[in-house]
Amino acid sequence: MNEQVLVTGGAGFLGSNLCRNLLECGYDVLCVDNFYTGSKKNLLDILDNPFFEILRHDITFPLYVEVDHIYNLACPASPIHYQFDPVQTTKTSVHGAINMLGLAKRVKAKIFQASTSEVYGDPEIHPQMEEYWGHTNPIGVRACYDEGKRCAETLFFDYYRQHHLDIKVARIFNTYGPNMAMNDGRVISNFIIQALTNSPITLYGEGSQTRSFCYVDDMIQAFIKFMQVDSGPGPINLGNPQEITIKELSDLIIDITGSKSKITNKPLPQDDPIQRQPNIDLAKNILEWSPITSLEVGLEKTIHYFDALLKSEKTGL
């Protein structure tokens, strides 16, 4: 019998890509999602797979299933979505973690927590390494996500110490690729949609702030490898250390798409980090993992995905 894997948030961007890869690895996969930001469209190609199930459920409520592994990915991850209902965002991170940890304790499952680089806040050290405790605003507009994820990490490590639970905590840096939502408000999806429609490209500030972008295929391989190896609980940074300014990113997307879009500048959002770059030495040493997809190649694949999506919407297919 195949090992049973639960993926919460399995219809979202990362979750749907993870479900697909887990099936390819020979696991039975149970996808749980309340479809707040996830979509069944992300799973159309695997819905008929006999080793795949999908369950509509909100993890702020207890879940009773029998599984061997849990990947806890459920939580809106883009500012537009997590700030729309900040109380629910915090509940998803905190109550959701309590419920999934309780399930893991009951069935003795190994459990993975999709944490985030946002636990570092607007960092005072660069690049960010796992030993850094962060620089966050606990009462700002982003706190529902940042502090929710920080509290979830606290719960995971308390269950690890108190109940000897087998946990894995990954701090995920900016990730992009197919199955991103067009309206999620994240910079790569925003720029690509604007470029493909020849609309003005929205640049916040002067675009001098930096980010580091990891292609989704590389990220998912890191998730699975982290769960498979005996590497301890983490936390571990997962991301691509190649740093780029947002202005350079906009220029690159305009160049690849051949867009006629012009740049329009708007004020920086509150608490928007100025720099974001992972130190992935731990992932290299423990997981023997580092990203292999260049930004140019990853962007070309992502642009192709969004271009097909826009064309299908126009034709109504």
The one-letter amino acid code at 199 reads S
Q: Which residue has the tokens 């980090």?
A: 273
Give me the residues of the chain with pLDDT under 70, please.
1, 78, 271, 315-317
Residue 145 annotated in active site:
yes
Q: Which pLDDT score, from 0 to 100, does residue 256 have?
A: 96
Q: Is 203 within 8 Å of 245 (Cβ atoms)?
A: no
* Cα–Cα dist 205/216, whole Å: 27
Task: Write out the two tokens for 257.
Answer: 């798409």
Task: Write out the two tokens for 109.
Answer: 């499952």
Question: What structural domains and CATH numbers belong to the chain?
Answer: 4-181+215-240+277-292 (3.40.50.720)
**What number of other Cβ atoms are within 10 A of residue 19's Cβ?**
28
* Cα–Cα dist 3/72, whole Å: 17
* Cα–Cα dist 247/176, whole Å: 17
Residues 6+ apart with CB under 8 A from 276: 117, 120, 123, 128, 173, 174, 210, 211, 212
DSSP-based three-state secondary structure for 227? helix
Q: Is 87 within 8 Å of 144 (Cβ atoms)?
A: yes
**Between helices 295-315 and 246-257, what is the axis angle to 10°?**
60
- Active-site residue (options: 145, 159, 160, 176): 145
Q: Which pLDDT score, from 0 to 100, does residue 316 have?
A: 59
* Cα–Cα dist 292/214, whole Å: 9
Instruction: Name the pTM for this structure.
Output: 0.93
Backbone dihedral angles phi then psi of residue 107, each to the nearest 5 degrees: -100, 5
Task: Write out the two tokens for 269.
Answer: 């959002």
- What long-range pairs does 310-313 form, CB within 8 A, spacing at least 24? 310/182, 310/193, 310/196, 310/197
Give the distance, in angstroms, between the CA of residue 277 and the centroid of all CA atoms in the same chain. Answer: 15
Q: Which pLDDT score, from 0 to 100, does residue 80 have?
A: 76
Q: Which pLDDT score, from 0 to 100, does residue 32 have?
A: 98
Cis peptide before 273 (omega within 30 of 0): no
**What number of other Cβ atoms are within 10 A of residue 217's Cβ?**
17
What does the pLDDT look like over 252-292, one tens digit per residue?
Answer: 999 999 999 999 888 877 767 788 889 999 999 999 999 99
What does the pLDDT look like over 221-253, one tens digit per residue?
Answer: 999 999 999 889 999 999 999 999 999 999 999
* Cα–Cα dist 14/176, whole Å: 9
**What number of other Cβ atoms are within 10 A of residue 134's Cβ?**
16
Q: Which residue has the tokens 């051949």?
A: 258
